[in-house]
């Protein structure tokens, strides 16, 4: 059996018990090793705590442990016999939107955590909005601290109903609610004996069985050229397939030139293949000698949009604001172009964590897909040309008629 | 290369090793496309050997467009130096060496009382990067190794002193890596960020990558210090009262001889090594690195100063 990988992210407000939940997942799935646990026990005793504080497993930086907060996205790795997991653990305070956007951008599933006592709060709605915006395929609503509401079914159902209302409004396709107590361990790895009324899976069980690689088999092929490998007279166009598949013999279009040619060879890291699939790193040969270089995109199937006007949903990440008239760099797939900020949906400027519809005018055309159709070729970042800072995350909105 | 498996919804799913390989190759090619003078940090340890293997695959059939840099502490395992020189010759690579011993001989660096040279590597490394104007420096660091590393980006901007500031890291989204930097700055690149120790060994087994023999169980003269088996040698061990004995051991990590410990092991084949790691209840750094036991934030502090 092939072991595959699930990349997922967690999001919660301060004190929802997120670090404890992550610690519990790692600990109960036996992913915490003796020396790590001893270090946590030692640190917990130094702080005057009786039981090991599992949150300390994930707070890696000195300032985090001193202040008892999580500053930055941390990546965690664990495995069960069924699957391998990469967890983007995103902190719940100050920069939470920016951190969650970062974590969710590569995630196939996100866990949104709420405190059963508080229910859905402003940050929960924000997390749901980010999950919808980033098109994370699966969302789990983990209602935590069920032990503090006497494991009451009615309380759980109220929260689920409340969240469902917001989810529908935001266009979240669906979500899976799980009642848990991270502190006690209910429904995290093992099903709880305290909640007979809950018939669904424990959290880890769901993570182990949720389908991954959900891209449709007939998705259009998108191959951004990263690098040209020259071997004597022969040119190999190297890159990672962003979407769909390519076969030897396929007629393809090279953008932005619009010229068409044919795939005559595919090499998957040292092995000649007839077909390759996203997200494999490959190199291809083309029938005619074309002027193809880094930043071009080779496509087959439904045509992408070639445009110098980009409309996008954006999340502003930097501390400095983004203003109309700003000159920025757009980094999209392997291409970087200059652009001017034309419109911010009525706002004068965007500040950190703002979500807004933006319009850009670029110096050269980009080969875009709507982000909801293809995450890899619909996503871009804005960069400050002065100092290289990453400013804004963008998700292209392409009018299907255009 | 195993075939892509068919996913539940008709899409295609790569095995976890194929996905890691594809991601690492993508990172190598991004750097080749965006930087002028990249270099791979090459210690002869398994992670740097893995990096080189992936780089060779990423640019085949052409040669890799990078050179190698070894920060030589002067406390090397002879088997590892021999391996390094053989690999460099076999692939026609260019090797740069930054020597800690040179800095000590010139009086720029002073030997530490505990004899370990690991923290002394930062200055020679930084000055070599500046002198050769390297703009991208590949490191074999993995996020699963240590909790400060868990917060590291794939592309990590360093100032002219090589310093890492965890609070000023650029957000890193999708697979869009931002390598913009000012003159004098450089970017540390970690293509193995998402690999675990077990992944590394499983991939080494799958690809039949040769490693220095000290990674496999062998008999060697060692002595006990700080709860670890250290190899006797000119670097300063054993001291009075430290008894030398012959034991069957292997190394889980390979670094400076003065702070890298061996573990008792009879794993003399790669399959036995994988079984041993899967059953181990200690992390590789916890089991074998004296320098990470100094404090809760030992790695964070070294990284801030410009360490790997």
Q: In chain A, what are the domain boundaries? A: 4-209, 221-300, 305-396
Res B3: pLDDT? 39
**Structural domain spans, chain B:** 11-198+299-304, 213-294
pLDDT score of A59 more than 90: no
CA pair distance A55, A13, nearest whole angstrom: 14
Cα gap B36→A24, rounded to integer Å: 45
Rg over CA atoms, chain A:
23
- Architecture of the domain spanning B11-198+299-304: 3-Layer(aba) Sandwich (3.40)
Preferred mutation among B62, B173, B200, B282 to probe A, highest tally of A CBs within 10 A: B173
- Say whether pLDDT at A175 is over 90: yes
Torsion of CA A369, A370, A374, A380, to 10 degrees: 80
- Give residue-wise pLDDT tens across range A180-203: 999 888 999 989 999 999 999 999
Query: Does residue B8 register a pLDDT over 50?
Result: no
With 70 as the cut, is the pLDDT of residue A65 above it?
Answer: no
pLDDT digits (tens, 9 = 90+) for A269-319: 999 999 999 999 999 999 987 789 999 999 999 999 999 999 999 999 999
A373's torsion region: left (phi>0), alpha (psi -120 to 50) or beta?
A: alpha
A4-209 CATH fold: Rossmann fold (3.40.50)
Helix (H, G, I), strand (E, B) or coil at A67: helix
pLDDT score at A73: 82
Paired strand residues for A273: A266
Q: Which ranges of A90-246 would DSSP assign to H, the alpha helix?
A: 96-105, 122-133, 153-170, 203-209
Closest-CA residue to B308 (of B91, B82, B39, B10): B39
Spell out which residues of chain A touch residue B8, defining contact as CB-CB under 8 Å.
211-214
Higher pLDDT, A37 or A285: A285
Residue from B28, B143, B174 to probe the interface with A (highest A Cβ count within 10 Å): B174
Q: What is the DSSP letter of B166?
A: G
- The top-scoring range by mean pLDDT among A8-17, A26-35, A97-106, B49-58 is B49-58
Question: Does B280 reach chain A within 8 Å, measured CB to CB?
Answer: yes
Q: Does B226 contact chain A (CB < 8 Å)?
A: no
What rounded mean pLDDT belongs to chain A?
89
For A15-24, A34-43, A101-110, A333-342, which range has the lowest pLDDT when averaged over its residues? A34-43
Instruction: Read off the pLDDT of each residue in B221-242 and give the average, rounded to a whole number.
Output: 80
Compute the distance between CA of residue B60 and CA of residue A275 in angstroms, rounded to an integer: 19
Q: Is the dihedral of CA A325, A326, A328, A333 positive or negative?
A: negative
Burial class (CB in 10 A: 0-12, 13-18, 19+), B137: buried
Instruction: Supply the DSSP symbol for B267.
Output: -
The DSSP secondary structure of A224-276, one letter per residue, reads E--EEEEETTEEEEEEE--BSEEETT-EEEEETTTEEEEEEEEEETTEEESEE
Cα–Cα dist A211/A264, whole Å: 33
pLDDT, average across residues B89-96: 95
The fold adopted by the segment(s) A221-300 is Elongation Factor Tu (Ef-tu); domain 3 (2.40.30)
> Residue A91: closest CA among chain B residues belongs to which residue?
B151
All residues of chain B having their beta carbon less than 8 Å from the beta carbon of residue A19 are none
pLDDT tens string A236-252: 999 999 999 999 999 99
Q: Could you tell me which CATH class the domain A305-396 is placed in?
A: mainly beta
Q: Report chain B residues whose CB lies below 8 A from the CB of A106.
A: 173-175
The lowest-confidence range among A306-320, B83-97, B102-116 is B102-116
- Give the per-residue pLDDT at A402: 42
Token pair belonging to B308: 């790997």
pLDDT tens column, A123-141: 899 899 999 999 999 999 9
Tell me the residue ranges of DSSP E strands in chain B. 5-6, 12-13, 38-41, 67-72, 95-99, 136-138, 155-158, 186-189, 218-225, 228-231, 244-251, 262-264
Q: Which helix (H) or strand (E) holds B203?
A: helix B197-207
In B, which residues are within 8 Å of A226 by CB distance? 26, 29-30, 32-33
Nearest Cβ partner for B151 among A60, A77, A381: A60
Report the percentage of chain B scoring pLDDT > 70: 86
Gap between the Cα atoms of B196 and B2, Å rounded: 20
Chain B 5-24, residues with CB within 8 Å of chain A CB atoms: 5, 7-16, 18-19, 21-23
A302-316, A342-356, B7-21: segment of lowest average pLDDT:
B7-21
Q: Dihedrals φ, ψ of B145, to 5°? A: -70, -35
Which residue on chain B is closest to A384 by alpha carbon?
A: B180
Instruction: Give the pairing type, strands B38-41 and B95-99.
Output: unpaired
Sign of CA dihedral A42, A43, A46, A48: negative
Per-residue pLDDT, B252: 84
Mean pLDDT over B76-85 rounds to 90
């Amino acid at each position: 059996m092939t072991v595959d990988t699930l990349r997922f992210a967690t999001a919660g407000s301060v004190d929802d018990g997120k670090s404890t939940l992550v610690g519990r997942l790692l600990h109960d799935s036996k992913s915490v090793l003796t020396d790590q646990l001893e270090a946590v026990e030692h640190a917990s005793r130094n702080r005057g705590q009786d039981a090991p504080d599992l949150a300390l497993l994930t707070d890696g930086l000195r300032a985090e442990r001193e202040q008892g907060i999580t500053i930055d996205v941390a990546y965690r790795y664990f495995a069960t016999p069924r699957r391998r997991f990469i967890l983007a653990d995103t902190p719940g305070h100050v920069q939470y939107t920016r951190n969650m956007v970062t974590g969710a951008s590569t995630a196939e599933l996100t866990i949104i955590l709420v405190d059963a006592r508080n229910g859905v709060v402003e940050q929960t709605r924000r997390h749901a909005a980010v999950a919808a915006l980033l098109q994370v395929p699966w969302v789990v609503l983990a209602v935590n601290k069920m032990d503090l509401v006497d494991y009451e079914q009615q309380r759980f159902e109220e929260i689920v109903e409340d969240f469902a209302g917001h989810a529908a409004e935001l266009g979240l396709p669906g979500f899976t609610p799980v009642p848990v107590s991270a502190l006690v361990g209910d429904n995290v790895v093992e099903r709880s004996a305290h909640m007979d009324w809950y018939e669904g899976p424990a959290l880890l069980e769901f993570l182990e069985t949720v389908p991954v690689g959900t891209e449709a088999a007939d998705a259009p092929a998108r191959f951004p050229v990263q690098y040209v490998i020259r071997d004597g007279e022969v040119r190999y166009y190297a890159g990672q397939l962003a979407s769909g598949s390519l076969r030897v013999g396929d007629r393809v279009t090279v953008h932005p030139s619009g010229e068409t040619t044919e795939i005559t060879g595919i090499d998957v890291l040292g092995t000649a293949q007839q077909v390759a699939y996203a997200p494999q790193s490959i190199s291809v040969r083309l029938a005619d000698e074309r002027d193809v270089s880094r930043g071009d995109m080779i496509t087959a199937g439904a045509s992408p949009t070639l445009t110098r006007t980009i409309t996008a949903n954006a999340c502003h990440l930097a501390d400095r604001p983004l203003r109309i008239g700003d000159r920025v760099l757009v980094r999209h797939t392997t291409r970087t172009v200059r652009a001017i900020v034309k419109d911010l949906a009525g706002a004068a400027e965007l500040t950190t964590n703002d979500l807004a519809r933006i319009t850009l005018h670029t110096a050269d055309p980009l080969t875009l897909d709507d982000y909801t159709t293809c995450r890899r070729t619909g996503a871009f970042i804005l960069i400050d040309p002065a100092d290289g800072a990453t400013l804004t995350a963008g998700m292209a909105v392409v009018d299907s008629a255009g | 290369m195993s075939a892509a498996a068919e996913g539940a919804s008709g899409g295609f799913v790569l095995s976890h090793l194929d996905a890691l390989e594809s991601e690492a190759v993508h990172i190598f090619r991004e750097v080749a496309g965006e930087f002028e003078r990249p270099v791979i940090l090459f210690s002869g340890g398994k992670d740097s050997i893995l990096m080189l293997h992936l780089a060779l695959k990423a640019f085949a059939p052409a040669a890799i467009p990078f050179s190698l840099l070894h920060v030589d502490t002067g406390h090397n395992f002879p088997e590892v130096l021999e391996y390094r020189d053989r690999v460099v010759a076999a692939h026609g690579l260019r090797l740069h060496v930054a020597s800690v011993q040179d800095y000590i001989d010139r009086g720029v660096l002073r030997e530490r009382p505990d004899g370990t040279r690991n923290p002394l590597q930062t200055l020679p490394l930084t000055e070599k990067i500046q002198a050769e104007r390297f703009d991208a420096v590949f490191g074999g660091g993995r996020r699963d190794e240590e909790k400060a590393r868990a917060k590291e980006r794939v592309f990590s901007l360093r100032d002219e002193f090589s310093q890492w500031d965890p609070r000023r890291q650029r957000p890193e989204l999708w697979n869009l890596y931002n390598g913009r930097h000012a003159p004098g700055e450089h970017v540390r690149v970690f293509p193995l960020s998402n690999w675990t120790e077990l992944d590394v060994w499983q991939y080494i087994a799958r690809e039949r990558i040769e490693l220095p023999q000290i990674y496999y169980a062998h008999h060697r003269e060692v002595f006990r210090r700080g709860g670890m088996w250290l190899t006797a040698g000119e670097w300063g061990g054993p001291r009075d009262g430290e008894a030398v004995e012959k034991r069957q051991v292997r190394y889980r990590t390979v670094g400076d001889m003065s702070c890298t410990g061996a573990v008792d092991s009879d794993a003399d084949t790669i399959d036995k090594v994988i079984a041993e790691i899967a059953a181990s209840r200690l992390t590789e750094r916890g089991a074998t690195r004296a320098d990470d036991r100094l404090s809760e934030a030992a790695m964070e502090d070294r990284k801030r100063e410009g360490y790997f």
